[in-house]
């Protein structure tokens, strides 16, 4: 009798893929459209650090590498493919030792300086304000400039805003014209200091809050340019910083930053970008999931002072940070980029999408040749990293309407540790197409997902997939396409319900019509 009862249950488990698939249940509420997922969540960050600017973007007008006014054509075209919405510059720690007037005028007359933060190399200032804003125009991206608060002055910052954005008669506007730019640029996003709790001045939060108010007063609006003032926010879980700065300066800002890096081991030995075991992989994913708690808790503090969510949470530095590649300058932060990094990127972008009522911008660190870059270069060679392809898949979410999702999923277990195996976010674009991005962090088990779409009659599903044979697979200049997007055939529709089989260690984007 017991055996007879067991057989139907065994059959049911077999037909449904076992208990695992029964736990992976997804509900997408298409009839409950929410806020817009700002395209600026898909922003990037480029600092004067290592080979990010020099050799990454900038090769000079006389370079054999094809360029437009000294800016690499291949890098620009690759970034345009992922529809880069904004670019943060010149730092980072470098921003608080950068004096912008050293980077304008004839290049052969610009003073040289030492980059004390990153490698002690000579910075010749050949890439300055005009070059950066030319880059942004070539990319079709909005510039995000970080002003020097740590070693600069209010006057210096105020004159920079005037130089860039004022169309009238003034010493700064006339100096811009003298340097070859007649019309002003539109530059909305201005960061008032960077990591002021650390490399930007080792300040206490109450001191910085007052300093921000002082600087922000003189970041003027000229013509129809409206400055979006971004205050320096917390380092990771420093909730006191957010509390103090919001209380004392919240009404003077439009955005508040947050920095958090995923470091698998510790700051003295961060681990290798490519040589790691499953335990280190698990720790990396576990640590990157902390981003959700950070946004939730910092957001709750911001809600008390700003219940209308007028102030955006700006996560303008995030990503993985490993030991540098062997044989490279330790101050250049050059690291490879594996499928693990793609998994990290997909999870974080899903988190940002799901918190997009508060998260208004995010900037991956850093775009080219530094940390979790989307592009690597070597002389005239260029490749797209696995992380690049995540941005390629997720670009469909830019300025789309967020759809609420509810997910009950399996756990990815290793020893006595467990985390959610699946991450998801969804949106509907202006043409009515629904996009769902899914990540399976489990490197050992595929995930069968049963999804219900409430309020939508969906008739067609297509998809794209990013995965590889091993979790530490990566692209090289000899094999630049080892990890790349392919068509996905693991999704089907039946009676309006969606079934998905996510391969192990994968990122998937589905389009439903």
- The model's pLDDT over 263-294, given as tens digits with 9 standing for 90+, comes to 999 999 999 999 999 999 999 999 999 999 99
Q: What is the pLDDT of residue 288?
A: 98
- Residue range 222-229: mean pLDDT, rounded: 97
Mean of per-residue pLDDT scores for the chain: 94
- Which three-class secondary structure state does DSSP give residue 289? coil
Spatial distance between the Cα atoms of 136 and 87, rounded to a whole number of angstroms: 7
Return the percent helix, strand and coil in the chain, to nearest 5: 30, 25, 40
Average pLDDT over residues 351-358: 98
pTM beyond 0.85, yes or no: yes
CATH fold label, 24-31+404-512: Immunoglobulin-like (2.60.40)
Query: What's the pLDDT band for 139 if we cut at 50, 70, 90?
Result: very high
Residue 195 bears catalytic tag: yes
Q: Name the one residue in this structure whose structure tokens are 């794209």.
A: 464
pLDDT exceeds 80 at position 375: yes
Summarize the confidence of residues 235-262 as an average pLDDT: 98
- Active-site residue among 47, 97, 142, 195? 195
Q: Within its chain, how far is the Cα of 448 from the centroid?
A: 28
pLDDT digits (tens, 9 = 90+) for 209-220: 999 999 999 999
Q: Would the CATH topology of 24-31+404-512 be identical to that of 37-399?
A: no
Q: Which CATH fold would you assign to the domain 37-399?
A: TIM Barrel (3.20.20)
Q: Are 504 and 444 within 8 A, CB to CB?
A: yes
Please determine, for residue 330, whether its predicted confidence score (pLDDT) is greater than 60.
Answer: yes
Domain ranges within the chain, ordered by starting residue: 24-31+404-512, 37-399
- Give the model's pLDDT for residue 23: 72
d(C-alpha 159, C-alpha 151), whole Å? 15
| Catalytic residue selected from 162, 317, 446, 513 | 317
Residue 61 a catalytic site member: no
Q: Dihedral sign for Cα 470, 476, 480, 484, please.
A: positive
Tell me the residue length of the chain: 513
Rounded CA-CA distance 92/90 in Å is 7
Structure tokens at 435: 């996009």
The 3-state DSSP class for residue 166 equals coil
């Amino acid at each position: 009798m017991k055996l007879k009862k067991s057989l139907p249950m065994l059959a049911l488990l077999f037909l449904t893929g076992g208990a695992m698939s029964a736990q992976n249940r997804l509900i997408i509420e298409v009839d409950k459209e929410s806020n817009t997922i700002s395209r600026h969540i898909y922003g990037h960050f480029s600092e004067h650090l290592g080979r990010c600017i020099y050799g990454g973007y900038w090769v000079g007008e006389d370079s054999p590498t094809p360029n437009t006014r000294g800016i690499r054509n291949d890098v620009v075209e690759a970034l345009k493919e992922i529809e880069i919405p904004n670019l943060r510059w010149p730092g980072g720690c470098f921003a608080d030792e950068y004096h912008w007037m050293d980077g304008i005028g004839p290049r052969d007359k610009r003073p040289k300086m030492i980059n004390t933060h990153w490698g002690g190399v000579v910075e010749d200032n050949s890439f300055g304000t005009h070059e950066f804003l030319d880059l942004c125009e070539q990319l079709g991206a909005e510039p995000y400039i970080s002003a020097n608060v740590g070693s600069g002055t209010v006057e210096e910052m105020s004159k920079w805003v005037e130089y860039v954005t004022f169309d009238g008669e003034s010493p700064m506007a006339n100096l811009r014209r003298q340097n070859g730019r007649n019309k002003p640029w539109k530059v909305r996003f201005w960061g008032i200091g960077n990591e002021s709790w650390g490399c930007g001045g080792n300040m206490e939060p109450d001191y910085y809050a007052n300093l921000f108010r002082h600087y922000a007063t003189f970041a003027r609006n000229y013509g129809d340019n409206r400055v979006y003032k971004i205050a320096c926010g917390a380092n990771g879980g420093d909730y006191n910083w957010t509390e103090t700065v919001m209380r004392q300066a919240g009404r003077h800002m439009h955005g508040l930053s947050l920095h958090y890096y995923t470091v698998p081991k510790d700051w003295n030995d961060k681990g290798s970008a490519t040589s790691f075991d499953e335990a280190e992989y698990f720790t990396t994913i576990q640590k990157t999931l902390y981003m959700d708690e950070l946004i939730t808790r910092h957001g709750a503090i911001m809600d008390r002072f700003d219940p209308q969510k007028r102030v955006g949470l700006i996560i303008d530095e995030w990503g993985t940070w490993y030991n540098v590649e062997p044989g490279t300058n330790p101050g250049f932060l050059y690291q490879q980029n594996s499928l693990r990094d793609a998994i990290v990127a997909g999870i974080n972008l899903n988190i940002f999408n799901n918190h997009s009522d508060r998260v208004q911008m995010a900037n991956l660190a850093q775009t080219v040749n530094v940390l979790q870059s989307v592009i690597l270069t070597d002389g005239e060679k260029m490749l797209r990293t696995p992380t690049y392809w995540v941005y390629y898949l997720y670009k469909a979410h830019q300025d789309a309407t967020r759809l609420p999702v509810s997910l009950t999923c399996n756990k990815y277990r290793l020893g006595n540790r467990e985390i959610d195996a699946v991450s998801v976010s969804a949106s509907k674009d202006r043409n009515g197409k629904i996009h769902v991005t899914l990540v399976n962090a489990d490197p050992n088990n595929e995930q069968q997902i049963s999804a219900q779409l409430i309020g939508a009659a969906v008739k067609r599903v297509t998809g794209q997939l990013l995965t590889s044979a091993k979790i530490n697979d990566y692209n090289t200049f000899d094999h630049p396409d080892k990890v790349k997007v392919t068509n996905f055939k693991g999704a089907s529709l039946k009676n309006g319900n969606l079934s998905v089989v996510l391969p192990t260690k994968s990122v998937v984007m589905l389009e439903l019509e």
